[in-house]
Structure 1
Amino acid sequence: MRTIFIEGESAIASAKESYQNTENKNQALQEWQNALDKLLELPDRTLAKTMTANKLPAYERDFQAVSGVVTGGDRTLTKIAAAQEFATSATKLCQNPPYSAMTWKECENLWQQSINHLQSIPLEDTGYLEAQKLLANYSTNLATIKIKHQQEVESSQYLTQAENGIQNLIKNNNSSNPNYVIGELQGIISNLEKVNTDTTAYNKSQELLTYAKNKLKQFE
């Protein structure tokens, strides 16, 4: 039995060394667990069992501490991989603007899901610092997308207001009141000039802007 005890201790020492020097942490942990199991299986009321009882708690504490780190590291890698998948999807979806407000919102959602994965990684897990670097980058990307989304929404509103103004002028055809027409045209031009160049409304706004400016010149 003493031989089993010595072999068990030797196996634990070997597993610890293997854990420190190998990339395959899970295999080293399995060897460590097997060594602990051998010690736990020693018959009661033997000298080897008594010797094991004195050292086993420390062995088990070491094993639990190390296995927790490996588990946390695996969990972190999984979350980082998931975050990167969402980030890749967001990048592909948003890489050639302009887009509708609905598409920008979907981009926001993808970046936010990526960020959520990174934010769920505990401070004590290995890979935490890597996650924080990605988090800073992804948060910046999300902020940029939110700005573009807002620009799209506002530009669409400006275009709609301008279109409604033009339709009202055509409908009313109030040529007997030039000041009214001039004021309306100036308001239309002001709205169209606020349309952002990187939005879906821009091309249409430029067409209407040319139309409105030409109309205004008729009153000069």
Structure 2
Amino acid sequence: MLSSTAISVRVCLNAVEGLRSPRLLNHESRVADLSVALGERMGLAGGHLQFLRHAASLHDIGKLAIPDSILGKPSRLDPEEWLHMQQHADFGAQILRNTDDATMRHTADIVLQHHEFWDGSGYPAGLRGDAILREARIINLCDVYDALREHRSYKAPFRMGRRCESSCKAIHLGDRAPRVSTQTCLLSLNATTTFSAALSTRPDEVLGTETPYSAL
């Protein structure tokens, strides 16, 4: 069960995000919805899903520390800008660790790892396999899925299919759970009403506005 401190901190930080970038907040909200939908299909329940939504709702909080010239760039980032953007995972963990609340400190660990990939190709630490927290792996896939499905000034949204599938990574729930293929995950996400519901309530990133938003 989430602590009252964790809930209050999340509400305050999301309010700041909404003032800085409504698109960022909408993206986080969709990723939270998708993460819970996928978590349910993988057998998570109760407090695990509650915490998963909490962490997903803050996964990009570190982008508050990224300059507008990078966060709002209407084209692809150059290599130097991309290295700076990658720091948002570490920035987010630093923000969330400024509390003695155990829930927020665990959330910080997930935020730090939400761009790590099963094969070790992610960042910031290049973790692989079960070294990556389960919640971070679920959020990672849903984050990539949402980013691929959204319209950006430099790309059209990917449709569900091979191109989208090849851009996502497989995730794993641990040694006691079966491997879940990328295709299974994407079919699960696409089959839920969550993405359609998210479009109707938080449509700005997906329905083709030209407001810039550069980073995956």
Alignment TM-score, normalising by the size of structure 2? 0.23
Identify which of structures 1 and 2 has the higher relative contact order when contacts are C-alpha pairs closer than 8 Å and 6+ apart: 2
- Over alpha carbons, which structure has the higher Rg? 1
Alignment TM-score, normalising by the size of structure 1? 0.23
